Amino acid sequence: MPIWIEIVIVALAWGIAAYKFKAAWQERQRYAESITIYFWFFALCVAIGMTFMIEDAHLAFDQLVGVANLAWLVGYVAFSLAIYLITSGCLLILKQPRPRLMAYSLWVTLAILVVVFVFGISSLPEKPDHTIPETFAELVFMQTVYLYVAALCMIPIATFARLYRHERVLPAKLRWLVALGTTVLAAITGLLKVILTALAYQDNATPALSILYPMISVTIITASLLWPMSFLPNGVYLALARPIEYLDKVKALRELKILQNRLNRLCPPVIGDSPSLWRSRDNLDFHLYRALISILDAKKTLSGYVQTTDGLAVLPATAPDIPRQQALAWNQADLEQARSLHWTLQTVNDHSDYPELVQAYRHISHDLQRQMSPLQAQEAA
């Protein structure tokens, strides 16, 4: 990895640690239950671990303390603590107790790292490049931390995936998506490192290394650039969400208009003709609400005809309980379409919240479009 990329990654890591320090300091009195403090210590440990990935920093630290490869141990301990802290923070978000096995696994991991370092790594020549293990001690040293990181990443992945699925607010949803992407990449990196070190220890000339090297570089760089983004201020995510929300509203209005136009053919609307999608772009919320009201009115009208036509079994014009001047001029095809639309519309609970109603009728519009020919869909839009 080029040195300038490593410097940028380390600068981002220390920047996030400094940025979150004030918030963490303000919550120091309740550190045991503060998600902010867990995440700040996570950022600090990541910054320390990434610092010692830089060769010059690694060599300078070892020269300062006078112990060969000590920066290697400090970096691995920092990464192990980082994944433990982010996992603990995730469990705190979910208000779930931390399993004892999680703490035991951390202590076992740290113990293995220290023992292997004391009896194997510390006596080796200085080695700032930790890509290929040359001794069995190096293999155990590397595999221990890689397996631990990959395994423990499963809890943050499950947490962020759950938060992403259940989040309704788009800016927060984007933040959880970034966090999810980061932890997935971290787990992939750990697994790829396990494979690489095992293959390289057996044969450091195997062709598989030429495939694994670039894959690991991509995952490390991407994850290193993504994780600071999950700590960005809310204003950044609000700005990112605006164009996405706007385009989603345009798409929602287009889909509702398809359903609205189908219903308007069967039940002439009480309100006047709605403007085109292009003319509606400056006030999408109003026109979305207007389209939804039109759909609900048509649904109510259809329900009324169901009661007077024996479940839409006969044309409204032939129903004895409907005055001829109020009967809709349907043909047999219209009757079949009205029957199908009515039962489909009944699947939606109209007492739901507004966003849920919009989403539900969008799904119905999707189903209609799948049943229509391309020409019919174009005309309906």
Q: What are phi and psi of 302, to 5 degrees?
A: -60, -40
Give the up-direction half-sphere exposure of residue 188: CA atoms within 13 A in the CB hemisphere: 16
| Integer Cα distance of 163 and 157 in angstroms | 10
Residue pLDDT tens, the chain, 381 long: 677 788 888 888 888 888 888 777 777 666 666 778 888 888 899 999 989 988 889 999 999 998 989 999 999 999 999 999 888 888 887 777 778 888 899 999 999 999 999 999 988 888 888 888 989 999 999 999 999 999 998 888 988 899 899 888 889 899 999 989 999 999 999 999 999 999 999 888 888 888 988 999 899 889 888 888 888 888 889 999 999 988 988 888 888 888 888 888 777 776 666 666 666 777 788 888 888 888 888 888 777 776 656 555 555 555 444 444 444 566 677 777 777 787 888 888 888 888 888 888 888 888 877 765 554 544 445
Chain segment 78-116, per-residue pLDDT in tens: 999 999 988 888 888 777 777 888 889 999 999 999 999
- Among 287, 173, 187, residue whose Cα is nearest residue 238: 173
* Residue whose structure tokens are 């221990």: 144
* Residue-level length of the chain: 381
* Residue whose structure tokens are 């603990």: 88
The CB density around residue 335, as the number of other CB atoms within 10 Å, is 19
| Integer Cα distance of 231 and 148 in angstroms | 24
CA distances from 241 to 167, 172, 173 (A): 14, 9, 9
| Integer Cα distance of 118 and 44 in angstroms | 25
- Among 175, 153, 159, 164, residue whose Cα is nearest residue 229: 175
pLDDT at 9: 84
Domains of the chain from N-terminus onward: 3-232 (1.20.1070), 240-380 (no CATH)
| DSSP 8-state code for residue 249 | H
